[in-house]
Structure 1
């Protein structure tokens, strides 16, 4: 079916490969008039559900960010796929995809490279391009980020963002001020991200430029809990990590439960709350719930930042495709950016009542540190202060050693270097170390992060794939997209029975009236009425209105209203048409009721 859907998408203006005039580039797609509207409506529905209704705020950050951002986030070292290059034709392929496509092994992405190399040899896997043997070829990690240069000449190294999340994390010091440092609070973003995929494939399902819709929810892990009662009755199909690979039929490993029953037991509560919201949302935009599940990541496939992660997966063209991820990121991101920058990535948590606590401080003798350490004196003083906050026992001996490179220190004997960097040994009496009792009104905590992350392009493709159908009307086969009225690019088509005797003029007037009301309307007077219906069916238009001779003769004026899925027709007074269509779109009226 994928070939038929891709052909329909190209023919009817949903999506097509970009830059085709120059041969095209794999992994880049242009959305046509129908597809751009469908995508926008899906984004609007996501924004309404996960931002507006949840009380979160939205930002729009740059798509290019400097290299230090990705050093801190771990993407420079940990964001890669497994690449194997053909020795004959030189084509590069994802080794884990070759294994999944040619063996019974699922989720090969989580396997270590030595095991992947062994499987390539064991199954005699061959190059899909030229059929050359790949056994014995080295499998290596390939970083997926697009590198660029910021500024003229060599400039400053930068990267196109591989996820929208970092644009939220790096702005946390300012965003927390807008939230008045009150947890929990969430920040959303919808925008493009880029990954230099080794082997883009399956149209919109694996591309090099794609759109993400992400929520970063910042919570106090000790006190904040979601109101799971809002989604308690939502039915979930879960595929836990410990059930995967244990059954010949994956469905035997499914756990069918509700969000209320799974929260805190099978799934972390915040994550489970968002699984419930997502299940309702996916159903609303048109997913077939018989081909939908939530699969937990196995340990080996989790991203470097995730403590736990569940994927929303949909069956498309016989394969289960990841559509969204729901990760518990802990304090990884904020802690890393706090370590690598000079900003404060914590939130001040006010106590209910002030507390008397012991605090370790230092007041280094700079008249000693200056002559002893020269230009490093202030860095040594700062390192002593951090060490006192972290490990007061380090000051129990006669001397203390700190490393200004990593801020690590021990109470070891004098030495010129430590394992992690240049070490400086100072007599404790010169540090001014002391422990004093102070009154604190609160403390600084690093929030934990819950992240629902949606691949918008994959949502679009799945909506189309699940809506695509063929049937027979009037003895002829028709292709139809049974799109939900809320996301259909065109809501109503308006036709004159034929463009003469005033029918065309009245149909065009009616088109403008409906557009003024806010409906997406297509006017068509080309070809016979049956062909015009078929064209609208194929792009998913839920309803069509025909102005015929009865429309001009009757008083009050009526038109024919046709429903896409059943092809049934009813006469509707023109002065009631806009209200009737509005009720149909809102689900307040069913077509059968007319």
Structure 2
């Protein structure tokens, strides 16, 4: 399906459309209409079912605005940038790496340096998309993508709209570990909005300034915890490893999760496990597996803290788009927040049996350090304690040298200073009172490692719509329909009275619709136009089942019945009204319509063209 066709269908049928149209629109922001909001909600529920409930994880909802200190610790203040190039003629800003990708066929220009992108812009004579002026010679600069705000009145406290939901989980780890009783492994999920001030939003829901993420942070003991890989070891996956991407003749690797982990293609068993879980989930919600792959990050695009990263990618309108990322983040996130924050971002790992170990300690004589070093005395004592734990051999001589910050106090102790750095302080070893003692330990504090599957909800919505778009012919008439999985479709069913001039039919149709809604099903009611046109309207928004009340269903001495039409095949069966809600609920949960064809009377499809 062409991208323009998808955007037109999405707008016409109420899936999604550009926001703030009455005021000229705002690039990078989309409103989900009634159909799209329902589809998105169903997708989120399906993700929650698989990655929270079935995995035994817990879900939180953290604020979307966080103070500046959080992003200083996480590294977002310094390293959350995209490449920007500004046109010298019209002043429009553009994503430089995207311009290069569009002009050269390079798939991952984001992995290149700014200088390399500048060279490609010059060599390929890339022009400004807005006015056509050459961009050669224009600087490619880093542009931080976070939205800044102020917390509180006036200047307030500087803050930012979160660029990912993950930081809300990491920041609350000291509290969350208590709910898990300090026991690893445990997982925390979150579904919610994130914000990135994209340079050039484009592609419908593919690159937005406000978007929804569904993320899982799995906290593990790297030395003890293994994933339940046996559950997914036989799941077939299509991989695009970095080695194949770098080879001009590179090809996909069609294998299983177990084989890929065993062979080292997937470096982390935990990442491999979640690739297998995601593969099954994407198939469940309706992604076309012929247009789906897992692509490994190249060295230049992988975050410095990530040991192994893979993206789930889908093909939409001829382009491969990232719809999820899977990263082994190590202890980077918790270590950074531990260093910056006031709480402990570690867990206590209890040994199976107590251990007796030797521990180096010092007991500095402050009656000597105080007079000798004045305001630096406390810093010297702390430095001695740190050195004892790191390098006990340093205390073997008559003196020991420690380093303290150059701005510590104003004492007149020895050592040559250097502005803004550190200076060495020499202390008599006997003043440090160094000793090695045997202590019994019951455990140790460790910093958990993090495995992160992160899903883009909006991108998955657009993928599902693109992959579900179908055309065929029914009763000699061409139709367009969305072959959405019943679990994901915006509506579970639609109810029609065949004609509106028979009170028996309209009364029963009203009652059937009310009963289905009471049973928890999302139901549309439509009595306008021919039954064929009503079917077509529901087909186009992906409604999987249409329920029609006709005269055959209300006449006679038997139980009331209705016809149930399946969207993709247009096949129909006659079902008793008393059994309808249970049958539709079973179909929504993954039941096969073919089973109804075996159990109930099949109805001829000529009814599709019957007029009111």
The TM-score bracket by the shorter chain reads over 0.9
Aligned partner of 2:605 in structure 1 is none
Aligned partner of 2:186 in structure 1 is 185
Offset, 1:260:
1.1
For the structure 1 residues 495 and 190, does the alpha-carbon distance in structure 2 shift closer, same or farther, using more than 3 Å as the test?
same
Task: Give distance in 2, aligned partners of 1:153 and 1:260.
Answer: 57
SS of the equivalent of 2:300 reads helix
Task: Give distance in 2, aligned partners of 1:298 and 1:370.
Answer: 55
Offset, 1:551:
2.1
Within a 5 Å distance, the mapping from 1:459-470 to structure 2 comes to: 459-470=460-471
Task: Give distance in 2, aligned partners of 1:396 and 1:324.
Answer: 55
SS of the equivalent of 2:205 reads helix
Larger displacement relative to structure 2 (582-591 or 203-212):
582-591
Offset, 1:404:
4.1
For the structure 1 residues 72 and 28, does the alpha-carbon distance in structure 2 shift closer, same or farther, using more than 3 Å as the test?
same
Aligned partner of 1:480 in structure 2 is 481
1:268-321 deviations in Å (ceiling 9; x for gaps) = 100000000000000000000001110000111012432220000011110000
Match of 1:570 among 569, 573, 579: 573
Task: Give distance in 2, aligned partners of 1:393 and 1:142.
Answer: 48
Aligned partner of 2:562 in structure 1 is 559
Aligned partner of 2:303 in structure 1 is 303
SS of the equivalent of 1:300 reads coil
Contact 2:188 2:217 in 1 (8 A): yes
For the structure 1 residues 504 and 374, does the alpha-carbon distance in structure 2 shift closer, same or farther, using more than 3 Å as the test?
farther
Aligned partner of 1:243 in structure 2 is 244
For the structure 1 residues 543 and 405, does the alpha-carbon distance in structure 2 shift closer, same or farther, using more than 3 Å as the test?
farther
For the structure 1 residues 82 and 215, does the alpha-carbon distance in structure 2 shift closer, same or farther, using more than 3 Å as the test?
same
Within a 5 Å distance, the mapping from 1:117-156 to structure 2 comes to: 117-156=118-157
Q: CA RMSD in A?
A: 1.9
Larger displacement relative to structure 2 (133-142 or 526-535):
526-535
Aligned partner of 2:254 in structure 1 is 256
Offset, 1:382:
3.0
Offset, 1:424:
4.7
1:543-566 deviations in Å (ceiling 9; x for gaps) = 001111222213222212111111
Within a 5 Å distance, the mapping from 1:459-538 to structure 2 comes to: 459-502=460-503, 503-538=505-540
For the structure 1 residues 164 and 527, does the alpha-carbon distance in structure 2 shift closer, same or farther, using more than 3 Å as the test?
same
Aligned partner of 1:161 in structure 2 is 162
Contact 1:14 1:34 in 2 (8 A): yes
Task: Give distance in 2, aligned partners of 1:357 and 1:228.
Answer: 36
Task: Give distance in 1, aligned partners of 2:501 and 2:395.
Answer: 96
Aligned partner of 1:410 in structure 2 is none
Task: Give distance in 1, aligned partners of 2:311 and 2:39.
Answer: 23
1:234-264 deviations in Å (ceiling 9; x for gaps) = 001111111103135xxx4211111111125
Aligned partner of 1:590 in structure 2 is 593
1:318-342 deviations in Å (ceiling 9; x for gaps) = 0000010000001111111111123
For the structure 1 residues 478 and 589, does the alpha-carbon distance in structure 2 shift closer, same or farther, using more than 3 Å as the test?
closer
Contact 2:508 2:549 in 1 (8 A): yes
1:76-95 deviations in Å (ceiling 9; x for gaps) = 11111111001111111111
For the structure 1 residues 61 and 460, does the alpha-carbon distance in structure 2 shift closer, same or farther, using more than 3 Å as the test?
same
Task: Give distance in 1, aligned partners of 2:288 and 2:132.
Answer: 37
1:489-520 deviations in Å (ceiling 9; x for gaps) = 10100011122221222211110011111111
SS of the equivalent of 1:116 reads helix
Task: Give distance in 1, aligned partners of 2:407 and 2:316.
Answer: 48
Aligned partner of 2:551 in structure 1 is 549
For the structure 1 residues 58 and 387, does the alpha-carbon distance in structure 2 shift closer, same or farther, using more than 3 Å as the test?
farther
Within a 5 Å distance, the mapping from 1:182-261 to structure 2 comes to: 182-247=183-248, 252-261=250-259
Offset, 1:582:
2.2
Offset, 1:406:
12
Aligned partner of 2:604 in structure 1 is none
Aligned partner of 2:85 in structure 1 is 84
For the structure 1 residues 211 and 372, does the alpha-carbon distance in structure 2 shift closer, same or farther, using more than 3 Å as the test?
farther
Q: Give ranges in structure 2 of 5+ residues lacking alignment.
A: 409-413, 601-612
Offset, 1:165:
0.8
Task: Give distance in 1, aligned partners of 2:384 and 2:149.
Answer: 39
Contact 1:74 1:304 in 2 (8 A): no
Offset, 1:431:
2.8
SS of the equivalent of 1:253 reads coil
Task: Give distance in 2, aligned partners of 1:585 and 1:548.
Answer: 24
SS of the equivalent of 1:133 reads coil
Within a 5 Å distance, the mapping from 1:366-515 to structure 2 comes to: 366-397=366-397, 398-404=399-405, 414-417=415-418, 420-421=421-422, 424-502=425-503, 503-515=505-517
Contact 2:487 2:590 in 1 (8 A): no
Contact 1:496 1:547 in 2 (8 A): yes
Larger displacement relative to structure 2 (128-137 or 496-505):
496-505
SS of the equivalent of 2:345 reads coil
Task: Give distance in 1, aligned partners of 2:529 and 2:10.
Answer: 22
TM-score (norm 2): 0.92
Aligned partner of 1:40 in structure 2 is 41
Task: Give distance in 2, aligned partners of 1:23 and 1:425.
Answer: 69
SS of the equivalent of 2:554 reads helix
TM-score (norm 1): 0.95
Task: Give distance in 2, aligned partners of 1:377 and 1:286.
Answer: 67
Offset, 1:346:
1.3
Contact 1:416 1:425 in 2 (8 A): no
For the structure 1 residues 534 and 372, does the alpha-carbon distance in structure 2 shift closer, same or farther, using more than 3 Å as the test?
farther
1:440-479 deviations in Å (ceiling 9; x for gaps) = 1111111111000001111111111111112222333222
Larger displacement relative to structure 2 (426-435 or 34-43):
426-435
Task: Give distance in 2, aligned partners of 1:59 and 1:151.
Answer: 25
Offset, 1:420:
4.4
Contact 2:240 2:253 in 1 (8 A): yes
Task: Give distance in 1, aligned partners of 2:461 and 2:332.
Answer: 31
For the structure 1 residues 543 and 5, does the alpha-carbon distance in structure 2 shift closer, same or farther, using more than 3 Å as the test?
same
1:338-366 deviations in Å (ceiling 9; x for gaps) = 11123211111111111111112222222
1:224-243 deviations in Å (ceiling 9; x for gaps) = 11111100110011111111
Contact 1:481 1:540 in 2 (8 A): yes
For the structure 1 residues 201 and 422, does the alpha-carbon distance in structure 2 shift closer, same or farther, using more than 3 Å as the test?
farther
Aligned partner of 1:292 in structure 2 is 292
